[in-house]
Structure 1
Amino acid sequence: MTEALDLNGQIALVTGASRGIGYFLAKELAAAGAHVVAVARTTGGLEELDDDIKSAGGQATLVPLDLTDMAGIDRLGGAIYERWGKLDVLVANAGILGVISPLGHVEAKVFERVMAINVTSTWRLIRAVDPLLRAAEAGRAVVLSSGAAHSARAFWGPYAASKAAVEALVRSWAHETENLPLRINAANPGATRTAMRAQAMPGEDPNTLPHPFEVAAKIARLASRSVTETGAIFDVPQNKFLHYQMPQ
């Protein structure tokens, strides 16, 4: 994945696009020529993103949407179909940390919100755009995961469980579509200088971490038609794909 990313004429949907990695992913995809459909709850952040994209000569459509609005996700899929009839790139980036706490101390409403945003809305998004990605010449889907899905470190239970579930969705979806041009992968950004990381690690010096634009530049490459892997996880810190054992 060393050639210049060319997404001219393509439609790319990015969730969690108002800040952090999602913000810079949207900018990267727009800079490569894609028309970016930017989804987030925060209207101000979306408007700032729109200004940045347009000032660089790109195009974006802003969608203020809380991803707990499952019917809203369905409507989004319908609106993309009505306007473009396809979707070339999906980047499911939105997610929340919840709390860092012993499992026995996590409130039910906190656990349920983590699962609703990180897992259920991701599935709902997949369901909404699967036919649109299949309609594209060579659809690409990227779902953000985390090393927590594998480390399952103490006190990170809800978040770790949600990201493990997300990776299972990615793998199943990839196996279902492996004979199509559609390629579907997860991405582990690693420790990044974001608000979520600061919430999880309040004593950490953010200047020791990569900036979100550095991480986004690497993840954006997964939208390239040159990507042949599917059902894998792209590990940003190692800058390589990690492959799961295929089912027998």
Structure 2
Amino acid sequence: MFDFTCQKNALHERVILVTGAGDGIGRQAALSYAEHGATVILLGKTVAKLEAVYDEITNAGYPQPAIIPLDLKGATRQNYLDMADTIEQQFGRLDGVLHNASILTVLSPFDEIEEDSFDDIMQVNVKAPFIMTQALLPLLRATKNSSVIFTSSGVGRKGRAFWGGYAISKFATEGMMETLADEVSGTNVRVNSINPGATATQMRSRAYPGEDAKTLKTPLEIMPVYLYLMSDDSIETNGQALNAQK
């Protein structure tokens, strides 16, 4: 799977929503999905970053993407319902969702985690993908084969000291994935999670400021698993907690 090669037009005519699409893994996933034929919906809070990714996709000659500016920290259920309506009206379908957006905040001892910080992490990393997926499920169920990917972490599979709220949010993400995957088992919807592993991103650099980013995998290098889960090759894969790196 780490060496999975996606067919050139494997995602032709697919419509895929990527959250946190402005930089890092989300940006690269959007580019990779577009490269393989998908129409990508770029969701993020910073319009300038989304526009830059939009330009990269169109300049490369890939299908024209769309932009949805949305700050998950303040988004409401109605925002997600309206978004689902807009996607249906503009594209008539939705074939995949990559829940990539996450926040880390401050690493600290458990008894020093601030309530506001914890609330922000749970809002963006857990509640936002939960409510968003609820709103998008009718569209996902209406297409032939659809894929939902949640983004996990190594600290969401084994707790680690000082990772507090972030680790807790990723354990919750894994539980959400497994619960939904079991409910949709045997249907046209499949649900899985990916642990990206140590990757050269801004979030990683904030967590490990002294680390040499050149020693890490780039977002492009971990794309095989992301492409696998969005392609028809993974139709039988459901409820799996996958790793993007060996």
Residue in 1 aligned with 2:87?
A: 80
RMSD after superposition = 1.2
Whether the 8 Å contact between 1:17 and 1:38 is mirrored in structure 2 is: yes
Between the aligned partners of 1:185 and 1:21, the Cα distance in structure 2 is 17
Whether the 8 Å contact between 2:6 and 2:227 is mirrored in structure 1 is: no
Q: What is the total number of aligned residue pairs between the two structures?
A: 238
1:52 pairs with 2:59: no
Query: In 2 relative to 1, CA 3–26 (structure 1 residues): closer, same or farther, beyond 3 Å?
Result: closer
For residues 102-121 of structure 1, the aligned pairs below 5 Å read 102-121=109-128
Residue in 2 aligned with 1:221?
A: 228
Query: In 2 relative to 1, CA 234–55 (structure 1 residues): closer, same or farther, beyond 3 Å?
Result: same
Structure 1: which 5+ runs fail to align?
239-248
Structure 2: which 5+ runs fail to align?
none
Paired amino acid for 1:231: G
**Structure 1 moving runs of 4+ over 4 Å:** none
Between the aligned partners of 1:38 and 1:143, the Cα distance in structure 2 is 16
Match of 1:4 among 3, 7, 13: 7
Between the aligned partners of 1:40 and 1:133, the Cα distance in structure 2 is 20
Residue in 1 aligned with 2:46?
A: 42
In the TM superposition, what is the alpha-carbon distance from 1:42 to its structure 2 partner? Answer: 0.7
In the TM superposition, what is the alpha-carbon distance from 1:85 to its structure 2 partner? Answer: 3.0
Paired amino acid for 1:24: Q
Between the aligned partners of 1:74 and 1:93, the Cα distance in structure 2 is 19
Residue 65 of structure 2 aligns to a residue whose secondary structure is strand
For residues 5-154 of structure 1, the aligned pairs below 5 Å read 6-58=10-62, 59-68=64-73, 69-70=75-76, 71-154=78-161
* Of 174-183 and 79-88, the range deviating more from structure 2: 79-88
- Output one character per residue of 1:42-79: Cα deviation in whole Å (capped at 9) or x when no partner: 11110110110001112200111101212322211121
Residue in 2 aligned with 1:195?
A: 202
Q: TM-score, normalised by structure 1?
A: 0.93
Aligned residues with identical type, % of pairs: 37
Paired amino acid for 2:7: A
1:158 pairs with 2:156: no
Residue in 2 aligned with 1:235?
A: 243
Residue in 2 aligned with 1:243?
A: none
In the TM superposition, what is the alpha-carbon distance from 1:3 to its structure 2 partner? Answer: 4.4
Paired amino acid for 2:80: I
